[in-house]
Chains A and B, each alone.
Chain A
Amino acid sequence: MRYSFFSKKLVAVTLLITGFVSAQSHEGEEVETGAHDLKTQIKEYIDHHLLDSHDFTLYSYTTDEGEHKYIGFPLPVILWDNGLKVFSSAQLEHGEGVAEAGGNYYALYHNKIYKTDAEGTINFGGHHGEETHEEDAFGENLVVDDSHPSNEKPLDFSITKNVVFIIFVGLLMFLMFRGVANNYKKNSLPKGVGRVLEPLVLFVRDEIAIPNIGDHKYKKYMSYLLTVFFFVWIINLLGLTPLGVNVTNNIAVTFALALITYLITTFSGNKNYWKHIFWMPGVPAPMKIILAPIELLGTFIKPFSLMIRLYANITAGHVVLMSIIGLMFIFQNWIGSPLSFVLAFALSLLELLVAALQAYIFTMLSALYFGMAVEEDHH
């Protein structure tokens, strides 16, 4: 018992060091709950961590009285529900309260905003053949439940945690690269941060854009390739920092990026590109008819694969990393917990590599698709 107490403390300290401070919220409950509950709790925590949030919570904990405390700041909630509704996310009280805006009531359930009545009742439509039941929104909002609420979902344009982080990364990139660009006005050689960034910019140009798109046409794609490369990389890297937020594990984010790649590819496609899709040269006519839909589908599958690849890699990395961190709490002994810690550390290093690799792959494949779209006929 004494050892387990010590190991718990050790784990708490290591968590503080690694910065996953928010995992502390489970500490208080460990004593009263069994190992099985702990596993569910960790799973819920991971699920919760991967989701977007309407508040910017740095960490949360539970007091001895069982009250949830959140350290962070609220963010604006913007809804489109027969007119624009804007209110602070503080009103939602992390899923424990009901917000009132313009005569309508809204409550959080599984991190999504639903329109409710004044009491914040969530109705369940009884999907999957389950019996209809009700759950009060004031209750535990982390319970994994396959049923979907039948409440109306307003269009949610809230400035969520991820949006804040996207803005932050955007600002960071703008200031950083603006600084680098301004430096060239005075010096012809880069200084300071530019010494690191210039080789990376040149890497994107010389290793990604020129080989894939070609010497003459690469220039107009450089802005997109550079932006997407640095955006994905920086946001992946910051997602690994203690207070960073996972952005690229949202399918909406990777979808937006892949959509831009798709649109640029489609709009820069030349005659030769479309000919290869709809009327493949060099094959018999019946094959051309068969190939056309396949090729057309291929144009959608390519950016789709971009979207899934980035999303899946980052999500998987975080799930595995957090699971291993969670293992520390399950083992609670001198062998298992340090082992998990070492494993988590090694995996963190791997994730650093994955962060750069995914940015590289996304940019590389985008450039490849652009290259295909602008390739000249050389038959």
Chain B
Amino acid sequence: MEKLIEQFSFGLFFWQLLLFVGLLLLLRKYAWKPILGAVEKREEGIKDALEAAEAAKKEMQNVTADSEKLLKEAKAERDVLLKEAREIKESIIAEAKEQAQIEGDKVIKQAQATIEAEKKAAVADIKAQVANLSIEIAEKVIKEELSNKDKQLKLVDDMLGDIKLN
């Protein structure tokens, strides 16, 4: 201890104190403040950037979720529409079928009626023609037959015989 006190140099103490405090003040102004300021600014910048990135990520996630939701909704809507369309189609087809059936029946009935009427007319026509032909034939036959007296008489007899039969 005594040696320490003896070794103590006041001059060195004085210079160390003076120079150190001087160095401290100089460094504070020209080095520490700018360095720490710049570092802090940078750290804040990094922090902000990280936060912004985080926010952007979150937003991105939201957007993705939204679009997924929209897609899902659209799909559901499409499905509903398709289903409806199918139903409509089926109902239209069914209705058309029914209508066709009715119409067809109607047409067939009309055709049948027409056919019946035509048939009747044709039959009537044929009857009339047959009658005319019969008369003409009869006329010719009669003319022939009546040219001969005997024959006329025979005919009358035959005819009379036929009528009896009828």
Task: Give residues in A with beta carbon < 8 Å to B.
Answer: 51-52, 78, 148, 155-160, 162-163, 166-167, 170, 173-174, 177-178, 180-182, 184-185, 188-189, 198, 201-202, 205, 219, 222-224, 226-227, 231, 250-253, 255-257, 259-260
Chain B residues, Cβ within 8 Å of A185: 34
**Pairwise interchain contact A231-B39, C-beta atoms closer than 8 A:** no
Q: Give the residue name and chain of the A residue nearest to B18 (CB).
A: A256
**Pairwise interchain contact B20-A257, C-beta atoms closer than 8 A:** yes
Q: Give the residue name and chain of the A residue nearest to B46 (CB).
A: A188
Chain B residues, Cβ within 8 Å of A188: 38, 41-42, 45
Q: Give the residue name and chain of the B residue nearest to A174 (CB).
A: B26
Determine which of B11, B23, B45 lies in contact with A158 in the assembled complex, contact meaning CB atoms within 8 Å.
B11
**Pairwise interchain contact B11-A157, C-beta atoms closer than 8 A:** yes
Chain B residues, Cβ within 8 Å of A226: 27, 32
**Pairwise interchain contact B19-A170, C-beta atoms closer than 8 A:** yes
**Contact A174/B31 with A205-B36, A231-B23 known, Cβ cut-off 8 Å:** yes
Task: Give the number of chain B interface residues (Cβ < 8 Å).
Answer: 35
Choose among A252, A253, A259 the residue with the greatest number of B CB atoms under 10 Å from its CB: A252
Could you tell me which residues of chain B, from 1 to 16, have a CB within 8 Å of some CB in chain A? 4, 6-16
**Pairwise interchain contact B11-A174, C-beta atoms closer than 8 A:** no
Chain B residues, Cβ within 8 Å of A159: 15
**Pairwise interchain contact A252-B9, C-beta atoms closer than 8 A:** yes
Chain B residues, Cβ within 8 Å of A251: 4, 7-8
A153 to B126, CA, bound (A): 175
Chain B residues, Cβ within 8 Å of A162: 12
Give 1 or 0 for each of B16-56: 1 = CB within 8 Å of chain A CB. 11011111101110111111111101100100000000000
**Pairwise interchain contact B22-A181, C-beta atoms closer than 8 A:** no
A-B contact pairs, 5 of them (CB 8 A): A156-B9, A159-B15, A182-B34, A222-B32, A223-B28
**Pairwise interchain contact B27-A174, C-beta atoms closer than 8 A:** yes
Q: Give the residue name and chain of the B residue nearest to A189 (CB).
A: B42
**Pairwise interchain contact B9-A260, C-beta atoms closer than 8 A:** no
**Contact A160/B11 with A170-B23, A174-B23 known, Cβ cut-off 8 Å:** yes
Chain A residues, Cβ within 8 Å of B36: 201, 205, 219, 222
**Pairwise interchain contact A178-B10, C-beta atoms closer than 8 A:** no
Choose among B9, B14, B34, B36 the residue with the greatest number of A CB atoms under 10 Å from its CB: B9
**Pairwise interchain contact B35-A177, C-beta atoms closer than 8 A:** yes
Chain B residues, Cβ within 8 Å of A163: 11-12, 15-16, 19
Q: How many whole Å from A52's CB to the nearest CB in chain B?
A: 6
**Number of residue pairs A-B, CB distance < 8 angstroms:** 121
**Pairwise interchain contact A227-B17, C-beta atoms closer than 8 A:** no
Chain A residues, Cβ within 8 Å of B37: 184
Which label, helix, strand, loop or mixed, suits the secondary structure of the A interface?
helix
**Pairwise interchain contact A184-B38, C-beta atoms closer than 8 A:** yes
A83 to B15, CA, bound (A): 19
**Contact A155/B17 with A181-B31, A184-B34, A222-B36 known, Cβ cut-off 8 Å:** no
**Pairwise interchain contact B23-A252, C-beta atoms closer than 8 A:** no
A201-B39, A256-B20, A260-B20 known; 4 other A-B pairs, CB under 8 Å? Answer: A52-B12, A184-B34, A227-B20, A250-B12
**Pairwise interchain contact B32-A223, C-beta atoms closer than 8 A:** yes
Chain A residues, Cβ within 8 Å of B30: 174, 177-178, 181
A162 to B33, CA, bound (A): 28
**Pairwise interchain contact B35-A198, C-beta atoms closer than 8 A:** yes
Chain B residues, Cβ within 8 Å of A201: 32, 35-36, 39
Q: Give the residue name and chain of the A residue nearest to B28 (CB).
A: A223
Chain A residues, Cβ within 8 Å of B17: 256, 259-260
Q: How many whole Å from A156's CB to the nearest CB in chain B?
A: 4
**Pairwise interchain contact A157-B31, C-beta atoms closer than 8 A:** no
Chain B residues, Cβ within 8 Å of A257: 16, 20
**Pairwise interchain contact B19-A166, C-beta atoms closer than 8 A:** yes
A60 to B22, CA, bound (A): 33
Chain A residues, Cβ within 8 Å of B26: 174
A177 to B38, CA, bound (A): 13
Q: How many whole Å from A312's CB to the nearest CB in chain B?
A: 10
Choose among B12, B14, B22, B45 the residue with the greatest number of A CB atoms under 10 Å from its CB: B12
**Pairwise interchain contact B20-A250, C-beta atoms closer than 8 A:** no
Could you tell me which residues of chain B, from 122 to 141, have a CB within 8 Å of some CB in chain A? none
Choose among A155, A205, A219, A226 the residue with the greatest number of B CB atoms under 10 Å from its CB: A226
A210 to B5, CA, bound (A): 36
Q: How many whole Å from A171's CB to the nearest CB in chain B?
A: 9
Choose among A160, A188, A256 the residue with the greatest number of B CB atoms under 10 Å from its CB: A256
Q: Give the residue name and chain of the B residue nearest to A183 (CB).
A: B38
Chain B residues, Cβ within 8 Å of A198: 35, 39
A157 to B11, CA, bound (A): 4
**Pairwise interchain contact B32-A202, C-beta atoms closer than 8 A:** no
A259 to B24, CA, bound (A): 14
